[in-house]
Amino acid sequence: MTTKLASLQEWVDAVALLTQPENVHWCDGSDAENDRLVAEMNESGDLLPLDPENYPNCYLHRSDPSDVARVEHLTFVCTNDEDDAGPNNHWMKPADAHAKIDALFAGAMQSRTMYVIPYCMGPIDSPFARLGVEITDSPYVVVNMRLMTRMGTAAMARIEKEGTFVKGLHSTGDLDPDRRFIMHFPEELSIKSFGSGYGGNALLGKKCHALRIASWQARQEGWLAEHMLIVGVENPNGETHYIACAFPSACGKTNLAMLIPPESHKGWKIWTLGDDIAWLHPDAEGRLRAINPEAGYFGVVPGTNAKTNKNAFDMIHSDTIFTNVATTDDNQPWWEGKNVGSPSVDWQGRDFDEKNGPAAHPNSRFTVSAKKNAAYSELAEAPDGVPISALVFGGRRKELAPLVYEAKNWNHGVLIGASVASETTAAAAGEVGVVRRDPMAMKPFCGYNFADYWAHWLSFADNNNQLPKIFHVNWFRQDDAGKFLWPGFGENLRVLRWIIDRCENRVGARETAVGFLPEIGDIDTRDLDISKETMQALLSVDIGQWQQEMASIGEYLETYGDRLPKALKEVHGKVVSDLQKAS
């Protein structure tokens, strides 16, 4: 296969000239192609087969120990004007960035095969889907992209018809962290990533395209590209509400997206549309409709078990690529919180010794096709997506943020989103457990200046009364002993029910300075072993703490200077004065 699209052929030729691969392979996405790549990687040791009896067609990939997570400090947004990238991004002048990274790409694919991967983000016949081509020298990337995107012949046909696509160039390079860069050129619709084979750094359709580049395009075109799961909640009467939730990395999106209703909730059903990214478009009625641009899940493995996430746990027993998990002595994958078996070899291939830390890397991941999910929504392939009733922000907060609260209006909701803070996790290189600002869970993923992004969010409020309501949740509030106050996982349905009841005007709320909170008793705790005192603690608002929080948010927002939208400052000022009145 080659292509009749001249712009694509010219780009591929130019890349081959620069990188000097031994072969060029155009991927068609077929089973035969996948089987051949898997066989080659079994041979090279890039993919190790797992116990075929209990884990048929499952493989383990061990990445380089220095290459296990996203690298935000090496991720750049390269716009002509530095202010367009904003203080939320690392920036480099496009010409300098190209020069720097092209020098690394020069000759980088010698004696390797260069794969050309045509892919589609979104249902292949959706007007909201977008095309891309990733060039890579990593067969691991090819087999992952096949699970995570609509990859191959059908995507190529649409690319040739439309003529526009995002260009992504990737090489694993020599994995030297000093020669690693993830660069984005939104004005050119292109991405260049060198020196990492890991997840979000290398599977360019995901964070690089579907969030950083897409957020830039979305702003120009009047839609939103967000780090959100999409879930359908069906009540016993058969009515389904769709909710999109933005939580930072490793803060519970995959788990919520495929939640299993607890025993106490007979007749309730949960349908997964997406677990990481949502593209939201306003429709003719002024509602927001969401599609999931992805076709698979690249999920956090540790903590996944039959209790916490049975859908994921079942799904990853076949046709799954595991990255950086441990293995048992009968070659089954193993991870902390699996609750069955015990590790014999750790994620680095060493005999397991607890002195070396966890057996599976805390950011070990599974890659699996979304179609394997028992809760996969029949609307996951709907070209126009689903109408969204509620948008929910959240993060990991030991204290302060209540279990759930509701924004007073759209602009206040935008402030709540802009104010998201969360304890850092293993999904990105760096210290874990430090609270940092992560507006809309997009700190690592927004391809332009946050001030402009908030203005874009605020612009949706104009003349529109069909917008979703906005909420904030926190599953991670702890007591003084460090124990989670809320059981989480399947029980989170109880909170989603309150959210839906609010959307349907079926339940009242308690107005506070920070937003509307449930009355104790309006969160259904039937059959739940939780005391009234704990619920009170979960739904409390400490005015003094919130005053400090709002002061810190105010300082943070000021760092965006003149570009900060006035309406955001105003709504911040209103919360501050309401807190003052309440104190």
Q: How many helices (H) and strands (E) does the chain have?
A: 16, 29
Give, as ranges, the residues between 231 and 260 that touch ligand SPV (CB under 6 A): 249
Choosing from 226, 276, 406, 438, the residue that interacts with ligand SPV (CB under 6 A) is 276
Choosing from 55, 76, 454, 489, the residue that interacts with ligand GTP (CB under 6 A) is 489
Give, as ranges, the residues between 67 and 86 that touch ligand SPV (CB under 6 A): 70
208, 251, 446, 503: the active-site residue: 251
Q: Give the alpha-carbon dihedral of 452, 454, 459, 460, to 10 degrees.
A: 140
- Pick 255 or 327: Cβ nearer ligand GTP: 255
Specify the residue for token string 């809309």. 440
Letter string b/e over residues 145-159, b meaning 16 or more CB atoms within 10 A of that residue's CB: bbbbbbbbebbbebb
- Pick 276 or 549: Cβ nearer ligand SPV: 276
Tokens representing residue 261 in the block: 């209703």
Residue showing the smallest CB distance to ligand GTP in the complex: 488
Q: Does 253 bind ligand GTP (CB under 6 A)?
A: yes
Tokens representing residue 102 in the block: 């092209």
- Pick 29 or 205: Cβ nearer ligand SPV: 205
Of 45-53, 119-127, 136-144, 199-207, which part binds ligand SPV (CB under 6 A)? 199-207
The question of whether 58 is a catalytic residue gets the answer no
Site size toward ligand GTP, by CB under 6 A: 22
Q: Does 298 bind ligand SPV (CB under 6 A)?
A: yes
Strands (E), 235-355: 240-246, 269-274, 278-282, 288-291, 296-300, 321-323, 326-327, 333-334
- Pick 47 or 229: Cβ nearer Mn ion: 229
Residues facing residue 48 across a β-bridge: 60
Min dist CB 452 to Mn ion, Å, is: 22
Rounded to an integer, what distance in angstroms lies between the CA atom of residue 274 and that of residue 228? 8
* Burial label, 80 (beta-carbon count in 10 A; 0-12, 13-18, 19+): exposed
The entry of Mn ion, ligand GTP, ligand SPV, none that residue 199 binds, CB within 5 to 8 Å by partner kind: ligand SPV
Q: Does 115 bind ligand GTP (CB under 6 A)?
A: no
Q: Does 411 bind ligand GTP (CB under 6 A)?
A: no
Min dist CB 416 to ligand SPV, Å, is: 20
* Spatial contact of 41 and 149, defined as CB atoms under 8 Å apart: no
Q: Does 206 bind ligand SPV (CB under 6 A)?
A: yes
Rounded to an integer, what distance in angstroms lies between the CA atom of residue 87 and that of residue 94? 17
Choosing from 126, 136, 149, 249, the residue that interacts with ligand GTP (CB under 6 A) is 249
Letter string b/e over residues 270-308, b meaning 16 or more CB atoms within 10 A of that residue's CB: bbbbbbbbbbbbbeeeebbbbbbbbbbbbbbbbbbeeeb
Binding track, positions 256-285, relative to ligand GTP; x by CB under 6 A: -------------------xx---------
Q: State the residues that interact with ligand SPV by CB under 6 A.
A: 70, 199-200, 206-207, 249, 276, 298, 427
Indicate which residues carry an active-site annotation. 251
